[in-house]
Chain A
């Protein structure tokens, strides 16, 4: 019973936070809803025995990425008057239809017994603990090539962000 409560409270917080993200008018409120969702997902990770991933989720997502979001909101200002007129006719109606199809398909796939997603592997009784030792042991042996590529991607992204956000106009005025 305790396990069920520990699932239901964070999952309802996740859904509420996601709804705040898409329906709140003030961008700062959207960001706070996203923080709520991310922290609740970290709690879910802990219940799934992925403790290290939960910590990384808190540090990288709820810490770094959200700081970046709030910083950009500060820079470009709070734009409350997002025009509500649809540039595509009947957009909300169409998207609602696609949303209903998508959510019903995904939930059906998730809960139906027809879709045997354990056809190739059997579900196991023992649980794997997501400790730093175990994750590092896998990451630096069988995943070492993707790891190297992703480090190059991070360097490129950092350089690209500096190049994109650099204000060339102001440079000329200073000179």
Chain B
């Protein structure tokens, strides 16, 4: 009988994290890159929750809240930066951002 074990959730989380990494590396639109960061953070949250069930501990679910708050703060600040850059450069592409000669 096929049974859903913790390994299945961990595998799904690994695949999701890798897809997020891939997107982060190949896209140049700063907004899309932020979405890929969200994908990776969600993969980590999935790992926390499945470990929480595996060990019967609630702390994993509490840790997800902290990841959630940090993700929300990061999105707020990041999108504000994108908007203020867009006012100057009228583009959201990261290739245009060479103000500090990077």
Residues of A within 8 A of B (CB): 1, 3-4, 7, 11, 14-15, 18-19, 21-22, 27, 30-31, 34, 37-38, 41, 44-45, 47-50, 52-53, 56-57, 60-61, 64-65, 68-69, 72-73, 75-76, 79, 82-83, 87, 91-92, 95-96, 98-99, 102-103, 106-107, 109-111, 118, 121, 123-124, 126-128, 130, 134-135, 138-139, 142-143, 146, 150, 153-154, 156-158, 160-162, 164-165, 167, 169
Partner among B42, B68, B80 whose Cβ is within 8 Å of the Cβ of A164: B80
CB-based nearest A residue for B88? A169
Provide 20 A-B residue pairs closer than 8 Å at the C-beta atoms, listed in order of the A residue: A18-B16, A19-B19, A27-B32, A41-B42, A41-B45, A41-B46, A47-B4, A48-B52, A50-B53, A53-B64, A56-B68, A61-B68, A72-B82, A96-B22, A99-B22, A111-B11, A118-B54, A127-B53, A138-B62, A161-B79
Inter-chain contacts of B38 with A (CB < 8 A): 34, 38, 61, 65
A11 to B13, CA, bound (A): 10
Inter-chain contacts of A157 with B (CB < 8 A): 72-74, 76-77
Beyond A50-B61, A72-B31, A154-B69, is A103–B18 a contact (Cβ under 8 Å)? yes
| Contact yes or no, A158 B76, CB < 8 A | yes
Q: How many residues of B contact A (CB 8 A)?
A: 74
Beyond A50-B61, A134-B58, is A68–B53 a contact (Cβ under 8 Å)? no
Question: 20 other contacts beyond A98-B21, A138-B59, with CB at 8 A cut-off?
Answer: A14-B16, A19-B19, A21-B23, A22-B22, A30-B31, A30-B32, A47-B4, A48-B53, A57-B68, A76-B92, A82-B93, A87-B28, A87-B95, A107-B15, A127-B53, A143-B62, A146-B66, A153-B73, A161-B77, A165-B80
| Contact yes or no, B2 A22, CB < 8 A | no
Inter-chain contacts of A158 with B (CB < 8 A): 76
Centre residue among A11, A110, A158 by max chain B CB count within 10 A:
A110
Inter-chain contacts of A150 with B (CB < 8 A): 66, 69-70
| Contact yes or no, B36 A48, CB < 8 A | no
* Binary contact track B18-54/A, C-beta < 8 Å → 1, others 0: 1111110111110110111011001001100110111
| Contact yes or no, A154 B73, CB < 8 A | yes
Centre residue among A124, A153, A164 by max chain B CB count within 10 A:
A164
| Contact yes or no, B12 A11, CB < 8 A | yes
| Contact yes or no, A75 B83, CB < 8 A | yes
